[in-house]
Amino acid sequence: MTTSLSFRCSMARLGIALLGLIGASVASASPPALPSHPVESPVTTVSAHSSSSTSSALPSSSPAAPRPDDMGVEYIGSETCVGCHDTVEEHLATSPHASAAFASRSDLGCETCHGPGGLHLEDPDVVENQPRVDRLSKERQSETCRTCHSGGEQFFWPGSIHDSRGVSCLDCHSIHEPVSVTAELKKETVTDSCLTCHKDVRADLWKTSHHPIREGQISCADCHNPHGSTTESLLRSESVNEQCWSCHTEKRGPFLWEHPPVRENCMNCHTPHGSNHLKLQKTSVPYLCQQCHSNTRHPGTPYAVTNLGDEPRASNRIFNRACLNCHAAVHGSNHPSSPYLGH
């Protein structure tokens, strides 16, 4: 027993010695080398359209990598550009692209978007050397804008309907000569920009029943995100109903008695841009209702054309509001005794 105790003590002393050696080795090891370059301080940048320096409190981000055809071409600075393009400088002086926020992202000014102007400066009359963004391909134009505008509203632009159909940022926006008060659009309003292409919607807006879009109370962008979304027709909400309910909250429910096609999709009965029937309906009642309710309870024959001109046989279901004379709560009802949406 004495021998066993002595053996355990010897092993304990050996372990302590090994730990001491390991600790000494760690303590004597050299710390990892720090970067040889100093930590960068906030960079003083030059505004794209001003000769004065602006000290930005925001961290400076490197400009986009130069395009392959820009390699080796000299950057000349915004002051050189505005020496000739003075009218452009006047337009941009109060725009977001002349702000301190823009300058904090790049110190290249005009050449952030246009690329280096060295060749253009050598011989300004050579058209091929003029660094015009509108002469790039549609894809390259949008890539230039998305160097900065790649989040928020523009996040879903790649692969969106407009992108896949060859529309670029410059088809709607003008950086140098915008007409709109906001968003630097080529047209006065968002709606005017959209209707430049969407002629069918323009025609719908002149129908007797329409959303107040041409009156300027709402715009296309209230329901759609032109830069892309994850839902059909570039809707801002998760579905057609969610989009409609963002204004028509009284139709959301929940209701004790639901009307299934209403819950399924508002566009089963309505068209969103314009109609010559009341309340943006696809067709008038009772024929709208008859598209589903043709063989149940009230048969379809009372609404047939043979009865319309025969006064003694005419149905009371085509008078005034037709089906809605009785089924007034067509979007749903919370009345305990109204399973047929009467009130």
Same domain, 255 and 293: yes
Of 90-94, 115-119, 338-342, the range with the lowest mean pLDDT is 90-94
pLDDT (average), residues 257-267? 95
Instruction: Using DSSP, state whether 53 is helix, strand or coil.
Output: strand
String of DSSP letters for 134-197: GGS-HHHHHHHHHTT--SGGGTT-TTSHHHHTT--GGGTB-SSS--SSSTTBSSSSHHHHHHTT
Residue 30 falls inside a structural domain: no
* Overall number of domains in the chain: 3
Same domain, 180 and 163: yes
Residue 68 falls inside a structural domain: yes
Same domain, 111 and 86: yes
Residue 132: pLDDT over 90: yes
Mind listing the pLDDT tens digit for each residue in 288-297?
Answer: 988 888 766 6
Of 157, 151, 68, 62, whose CA–CA distance to 112 is shortest? 62
Query: 4: pLDDT confidence band, cut at 50, 70 and 90?
Result: very low
Instruction: Say how far apart CA 205 and CA 216 lie, in whole Å.
Output: 12
pLDDT (average), residues 67-76? 71
Question: Quick one: pLDDT at residue 342?
Answer: 86
pLDDT (average), residues 129-138? 93
Same domain, 124 and 197: no
Residue 187 falls inside a structural domain: yes
Same domain, 311 and 263: yes
Q: Which of 123-127, 301-305, 319-323 has the highest mean pLDDT?
A: 123-127
Of 38-52, 56-70, 267-281, the range with the lowest mean pLDDT is 38-52
Same domain, 208 and 259: no
Question: Quick one: pLDDT at residue 312?
Answer: 64
Residue 25 falls inside a structural domain: no
Nearest-5° Cα angle at 25, 20 to 28: 125
Residue 34 falls inside a structural domain: no
Domain boundary at 131, 166, 197, which? 131
pLDDT (average), residues 25-52? 38
Beta-bridge mates of residue 45: 54
User: For the chain, percent helix, then strand, then coil, each to nearest 5?
Assistant: 45, 5, 50
Residue 207 falls inside a structural domain: yes
Residue 243: pLDDT over 90: yes
Residue 61: pLDDT over 50: no
Q: Which domain holds residue 173?
A: 150-236
Residue 201 falls inside a structural domain: yes
Question: Quick one: pLDDT at residue 89?
Answer: 84
Residue 179: pLDDT over 70: yes
Same domain, 274 and 231: no
Query: 17: pLDDT confidence band, cut at 50, 70 and 90?
Result: low
Residue 260 falls inside a structural domain: yes
Distance from first CA to last CA of the chain, Å, rounded?
98
Cis peptide before 31 (omega within 30 of 0): no
Mean pLDDT, the chain, rounded, equals 80
**Of 222 and 293, more confident:** 222
Query: Which percentage of the chain shows pLDDT scores above 70?
Result: 72
Instruction: Say how far apart CA 171 and CA 6 lie, in whole Å.
Output: 91
